[in-house]
A and B are shown apart, each in its own frame.
Chain A
Amino acid sequence: MIQVENIRKEFELTKKQQKENNTKDKVALAVDDVSFECQPGRIFSLLGPNGAGKTTTLRMLAGILKPTSGSIRINGIDIQKNPNEAKKDIGFLTGSTGLYERLTANEIIEYFSKLYGVSREDYEERKENLYTLLGMHDFQDKRIGRLSTGMKQKVSIARTMIHDPKVVIFDEPTSGLDVITAENIIKLISDCKTQGKTVIFSSHIMSEVDLLCDDLAIIHKGTIVHRSSMHEFRENMQTNSLTAEFIRVINENN
């Protein structure tokens, strides 16, 4: 479960950034008073246009960034107070995730299992299951630099899931991927729901949202402008498509 209460994130601006943004403000507000809850066994989608604050929010949930104020609880653990304890339960995958090009798939998966403190027995079992599920046996000993984008994405998925996280965060996971590779991600998100995991993913591809989402929040200029279940969102639509409705909500709050 993810509980987000009134989080706010400010970034200090350097003089160069102030000049570039044509502002005299010393800080930029990326996320302002954002609250929501993600339940286990449900998929929560964070929607928003580019620069809305989706990635910053998800990075705070993953413990990469610290909120300026507010609180985030992962399965009841306050991530600011016990970041390393909370992170044990989190799996984090983005569309732009990089992998160590000079290591093999096996070496990367083993490395991350050790970083998450996974026992040898669990590691072997989970690795076998993931490799079978994703069809990774053939390229497990190949260096990442020699793999195709699709193969790399499979390694990223295995890396994200090797510690069997209870909470999985996907930040635009299919961005830049072809449909075949994106399908692996869609299936992974769907499987996570079946396994009772808490899933949050950000996207601006409405077809994915339509396919997967149980709950959603729309973020725009750092604030939540809409929050409901997917069912309610569909019920109250004032336009004839999800994309049109998304644009309408954004424009309404401009």
Chain B
Amino acid sequence: MIFTIFKKELKDTLRDRRTIIAMIVVPVLVFPILLALSTTVTKYFDDKQKEEVLKIAVVSEATDNQFTQRLSAIPDSLGPKDLIFRQDTVGLKKEISIDSIQLAFIIPASFDQDQDSNLQSTIQVYHKGVNLGNKDRVKDYLAIIENTLLQERFERLNLDKQLIDPIDDQYIDISSKKEVIGKIAGGFLPYLFIIFGFIGCMYPAIDLFTGEKERKTLETLLTTPVPRWKILIGKMMVISLSGIAAAVFALVGMFAGLRLFNIVNIPGLSAVIDGILTPQFILGLLVLLLPLTIFFAGIIIPATIYAKSFKEAQSVLTPVNFIILLPAFVGMLPNIELDYTTAFIPIVNIVLATKEIVAGTIDPILLVISYLVMVAVAAISVLFSYKRFGKESNIIS
């Protein structure tokens, strides 16, 4: 009988446009679209920034000082520039504020003399802070000029560069690429599961409980000789399946976006993704997702039973969605690992376990503890739903 209810509810759910959008369309498309958009937009602005000809005012008594010579010599590959020579700073700030000039270097009259005497020169840079890229370009220019001047000083003084650089630091990373990506993606995947798992459960739950009340079909269903717990379980199976489907579709969308469309161009990423996406990994994630989505269904259903309209159900559940998201933040925090304390904290344990599974560093005992804790919490939530579903005032409008 549970299967009959499950089959009917699944058919009904799959014909609901709103649920299909929440369960399949949004999860599949959201990541490729977001990734494509963010990389395209970033690239567009980067390119624009690099190609933009900066009008730079050089304020100096002499146009042939060492600074100006070196600034002029910087190749256009580091960003095209147009140098404008000025004797004073009159009206300069206004010109920068209206963007007719983007930057200004104020060179002291003693610049050449200071450099020849191995002294420090102060150069003021006028810039408009809201144009973030301009300051970066100034820093690049100054680093090149400073490096050249430094090199010349060493040669002039006949000194070795090691004199001011006593340590040559060399970093050798022994973590595998899989571990690195695992730690990054592992913190992110639980977000994916929680957001889409929850939304994937929410819409069908509202439709299958609040919707049935609103459409006055629940009353008829309750007159049939089917125990209420079987009706509840049949519906709950569809809700959990929908949550799992939404999370899996989001995962598919993300990996498809990264790999097939090559949106994020990281060398060797495809090979790492292939290494992570093994059948064991996918199975492990599905097993972890099961109690999580049952738990979601268990906390969503009472709200949908209580609510008298779709709108009311949605307004009750939206804050719950935010509360549920909090444990996912823990997964992003550094230095919080799955251990004998965190394994007993529901949701947080699943978040951390997912991270470890992706990185390939999961401790099987901790995984089992996390899983059992989550199953227990899911069972409590199911019991809670059952109590609510049995309450007459909740089911009859």
- Taking a contact as CB atoms closer than 8 A, the residue among A62, A97, A103 that contacts B11 in the complex is A103
A88-B219 in contact (CB<8A): no
B11-A115 in contact (CB<8A): no
B392-A101 in contact (CB<8A): no
B226-A115 in contact (CB<8A): yes
CB 8 Å contact bits of B166-198 with A (1 = contact, 0 = none): 000000000000000000000000000000000
B216-A98 in contact (CB<8A): yes
Measured in the bound complex, the distance between the Cα atoms of B223 and A84 in whole Å is 9
If the complex has contacts A97-B216, A101-B215, A111-B8, are A65 and B392 also in contact, measured as CB distance less than 8 A? yes
Give the one of B1, B8, B15, B221 with max A CB within 10 A.
Answer: B8
B219-A64 in contact (CB<8A): yes
> What distance in Å separates the Cβ of A211 from its nearest Cβ neighbour in chain B?
26
| Size category, B interface | 20 to 34
- Taking a contact as CB atoms closer than 8 A, the residue among B5, B222, B225, B226 that contacts A64 in the complex is B222
Measured in the bound complex, the distance between the Cα atoms of B222 and A99 in whole Å is 13
CB 8 Å contact bits of B1-43 with A (1 = contact, 0 = none): 1001100100110011000000000000000000000000000
If the complex has contacts A94-B219, A102-B16, are A64 and B11 also in contact, measured as CB distance less than 8 A? no
B12-A100 in contact (CB<8A): yes
- Taking a contact as CB atoms closer than 8 A, the residue among B216, B392, B393 that contacts A96 in the complex is B216
B69 contacts the other chain (CB 8 A): no
A83 surroundings in chain B (CB, below 8 A): 225
If the complex has contacts A12-B393, A87-B224, are A107 and B11 also in contact, measured as CB distance less than 8 A? yes
A116-B225 in contact (CB<8A): yes
CB 8 Å contact bits of B221-265 with A (1 = contact, 0 = none): 111111100000000000000000000000000000000000000
Measured in the bound complex, the distance between the Cα atoms of B85 and A92 in whole Å is 93
A8 contacts the other chain (CB 8 A): no
- Taking a contact as CB atoms closer than 8 A, the residue among A62, A84, A92, A114 that contacts B4 in the complex is A114
B4-A111 in contact (CB<8A): yes
Query: How many chain A residues touch B (Cβ–Cβ < 8 Å)?
Result: 34
B223-A100 in contact (CB<8A): no
Measured in the bound complex, the distance between the Cα atoms of B220 and A86 in whole Å is 15
B216: nearest chain-A partner, CB-CB? A98
B396-A115 in contact (CB<8A): no
B217 contacts the other chain (CB 8 A): yes
B215-A117 in contact (CB<8A): no
A84 surroundings in chain B (CB, below 8 A): 225-227
> What distance in Å separates the Cβ of B12 from its nearest Cβ neighbour in chain A?
5
A102 surroundings in chain B (CB, below 8 A): 12, 15-16
Measured in the bound complex, the distance between the Cα atoms of B392 and A80 in whole Å is 14
> What distance in Å separates the Cβ of A150 from its nearest Cβ neighbour in chain B?
18
Measured in the bound complex, the distance between the Cα atoms of B222 and A114 in whole Å is 14
A89: nearest chain-B partner, CB-CB? B225
CB 8 Å contact bits of A9-27 with B (1 = contact, 0 = none): 0011010000000000000
Residues of chain A from 37 to 96 with CB closer than 8 A to chain B in the complex: 59, 62-66, 83-88, 90, 92, 94, 96
A112 contacts the other chain (CB 8 A): yes
A221 surroundings in chain B (CB, below 8 A): none
B227-A63 in contact (CB<8A): no
A166 contacts the other chain (CB 8 A): no
A102: nearest chain-B partner, CB-CB? B15
- Taking a contact as CB atoms closer than 8 A, the residue among A59, A90, A94, A98 that contacts B215 in the complex is A98
Measured in the bound complex, the distance between the Cα atoms of B12 and A64 in whole Å is 23
A64-B223 in contact (CB<8A): yes
B220-A98 in contact (CB<8A): yes
B220-A159 in contact (CB<8A): yes
A64 surroundings in chain B (CB, below 8 A): 219, 222-223, 396
A12 surroundings in chain B (CB, below 8 A): 393
Measured in the bound complex, the distance between the Cα atoms of B235 and A100 in whole Å is 14
Q: Which 6 A-B pairs have the closest CB atoms?
A: A98-B216, A87-B225, A102-B15, A98-B215, A84-B225, A92-B223
The 14 listed contacts between A and B (C-beta, < 8 Å) are A11-B393, A12-B393, A59-B396, A64-B222, A65-B392, A66-B392, A83-B225, A84-B227, A90-B223, A92-B220, A98-B215, A102-B12, A102-B16, A103-B8
